[in-house]
Amino acid sequence: MGHKFYDMDELDIKQLRFIRVNTLGWVLDKFREGTIRKSTIVELIPFTSLESLLFELEKEELYEECVVVFSLMNEIYTENEKSNECDTRNPFTGGRGMEDWEWR
């Protein structure tokens, strides 16, 4: 996939959705290759946003794009991550969340 730059002021919602689906396809390919970790994807892309995107694509009958989003959802997200019950604490703090901090 080559890189293409877009002028954000000239894009409509369908073009932005097209870019997003292509990017999600790239993310899925890189996950399958082992170059992007599952935890990175789960932390950066909320499952609920994928659900919304899938609903929009299905409503517009863009089924080829639906396959990309649905594959990403099924291959990467577990039941806990789908319901947002996963551990979303900051990985840079060594797995410690704000609730572990002591205020002095």
Q: Return the percent helix, strand and coil in the chain, to nearest 5.
A: 65, 0, 35
Asked, for residue 29, whether it belongs to a domain, the answer is no
Output the pLDDT for position 17: 87
Name the DSSP class of 37.
-
Asked, for residue 52, whether it belongs to a domain, the answer is yes
Asked, for residue 51, whether it belongs to a domain, the answer is yes
Helical axes 63-76 vs 47-59, angle rounded to 10°? 160
Asked, for residue 56, whether it belongs to a domain, the answer is yes
The tally of domains found in the chain comes to 1
Q: 47 is in which domain, residue-wise?
A: 37-84
Tens-level pLDDT at each residue, the chain (104 residues): 555 655 666 677 788 888 899 999 999 999 999 999 999 999 899 999 999 999 999 999 999 999 999 999 999 987 666 665 545 444 444 444 444 444 44
Asked, for residue 23, whether it belongs to a domain, the answer is no
The model scores a pTM over 0.85: no
- Nearest alpha-carbon partner for 69 in 100, 47, 96: 47
